[in-house]
Amino acid sequence: MKRFFALLSLILCNIFTYAQQPSNVEMADTMRSSGKIYVVIGVICIVFIGLAIYLFSIDRRLKKIEKGN
């Protein structure tokens, strides 16, 4: 597990080394610079965490029923 996290942190290190490519193609830079993209990420994360917890709770209830049978 320790080695896994060490590997993960090493992999994620190179995120910060990317240089911006100069180009005229339109991207959502303004949204990103004003910080609003993080709001979207937050919303998506909340939705997904909710769904994950819900799935885990279904799994647990099912386990109880299986033990009862």
Q: Which residues in this chain contact another protein in the complex, by CB under 8 A?
A: 11-12, 14-15, 18, 20-21, 23, 25-28, 37, 40-41, 44-45, 48-49, 52, 55-56, 58-59, 62-63, 65-66, 69
Angle value at C-alpha 17, between 29 and 4, nearest 5 degrees: 115
Q: 37 CB contacts (<8 Å, ≥6 apart)?
A: 28, 31
Q: Which is nearer to another protein, 2 or 65 (CB)?
A: 65
Q: Which is nearer to another protein, 6 or 63 (CB)?
A: 63
